[in-house]
Amino acid sequence: MNVLRLHDVGELRLGSEPVPQPKLGEVLLRVTAVGICGSDLHWLEEGGIGDAQVTQPLVLGHEFAGVVLGPDSDLSGQRVAVDPAIPCQVCEFCRGGYPNLCSDLHFAGHGLDDGALREYMDWPEGNLHPLPETISDEEGALLEPLGVALHAVDLGQIEPGSSVGVFGCGPIGLLVVQLARLAGAADIIVTDRLQHRLEAAISMGATKSVLVTDDWDVNKVWEVSAGRGVEVAFEVAVENLAVETAITAARPGGRVVLVGIPAENQTSFTASTARRKGLTIKLSRRMKFTYPRAIQLVEGGLIDVRSLVTHRYPLSEYKQALQVAKRREGLKVVIQP
């Protein structure tokens, strides 16, 4: 089978490897769709994320769907979305209802655990979620970023009639916009450096947009909100300016949810601003218990993930696919092994 492995910073190699043999509790999957995430680009360009670094050749890809091939599975032949996270289920965090904070978590395309940028893979059967016929394979792959957005919105506790800021309009930011609208937010202000992403956000429910430029003034969002600020601010970007904007835009007593992964592994903001406002600041870590909800939202037409996919490539064209993702052309790049 064809497999794409990261050997070092910027060094991807497409090669041939044997089809994996599932272990006890696992099934064999034919991978059908893999979304390229910003965190994949961190691994590619920096050799890791924070203190997690490439120590052996790694297959990237954690947003994916596939078809179960077996062996001996009741799901054989079934199209499935796949949860990339394998918590231990026995640590105090798992037992306390926080499997996303598991002290021994394994995650596809991270550390020592190979991901989905290959034709076939073995994965625990308990991590598979059957897809209804109305949800395509690529939509199934996007249930993972939708789960991340759902968890972030859960942390934000949006109330009907409230105002929300979304700073960064990549795929997860656009999903946060849709979920905020669904939760009843009356005003949704968005920012991004790319005009086409702001336009996508408006089409998905945002009410006001601000284009970020090199001479960006973080107070612009405060002005756009008529000097009232927002009750919940979501930072969903990869630069610290978005964090500072979220802190500045939040009104006194507001909530700020940090979702993005900073390239420098550092986050900073003006402490006096956050302190004097008495802000509640939460950091979002992946997701928990979101796949059933995500499937229902997409199947019911309440959330649109299909429109996020703007580029599709076979595995053999991985170089072009990753360059498009790096340049942030369109919205979401999907590789179809």
Q: Which two tokens stand for residue 17?
A: 């490897």
Strands (E), the chain: 2-8, 11-16, 26-35, 48-49, 52-53, 63-70, 79-82, 85-86, 106-107, 120-124, 128-130, 163-167, 187-192, 208-211, 230-235, 250-258, 280-283, 309-314, 332-336
What's the pLDDT tens digit per position in 254-309? 999 999 988 778 899 999 999 999 999 999 999 999 999 999 999 999 999 999 99
Q: Stretch 183-211: mean pLDDT, rounded? A: 97
What is this structure's pTM?
0.96
Domains of the chain by start residue, with CATH = 2-142+305-336 (3.90.180.10), 146-283 (3.40.50.720)
Q: Stretch 55-67: mean pLDDT, rounded? A: 96
Specify the 3-state DSSP secondary structure of 251: strand
Determine the Cα–Cα distance for residues 268 and 263; give it in Å rounded to an integer: 13
Phi-psi region of 24 (alpha: psi -120 to 50; beta: other; left: phi over 0): beta
Using the structure block, give the residue that is written with the tokens 């991978």.
Answer: 31
- Burial string for 255-294 (b: 16+ CB within 10 Å, else e) reads bbbbbbbbeeeeeebeeeebeebebbbbebebbbebbebb
Q: Stretch 171-180: mean pLDDT, rounded? A: 98
Phi first, then psi: give them for residue 143, nearest 5 degrees: -65, -25
Instruction: Look up residue 133 and give its amino acid.
Output: E
When the pLDDT of each residue in the chain is averaged and rounded to a whole number, the result is 95
What's the pLDDT tens digit per position in 203-228? 999 999 999 998 888 888 988 988 89
Is 159 a residue whose pLDDT tops 90? Answer: yes
Residue 264's pLDDT is 79
How sure is the predictor about 55, in pLDDT bands with cuts at 50, 70 and 90? Answer: confident
Find which of 49-63, 129-143, 237-251 is predicted with most confidence, using mean pLDDT: 129-143
Is 71 a residue whose pLDDT tops 80? Answer: no
How sure is the predictor about 48, in pLDDT bands with cuts at 50, 70 and 90? Answer: confident
Q: Which two tokens stand for residue 103?
A: 């002290």
What's the pLDDT tens digit per position in 87-133? 999 999 999 999 999 999 999 999 999 999 999 999 999 999 999 99
State which H helix or E strand residue 38 sits in. Answer: helix 38-46
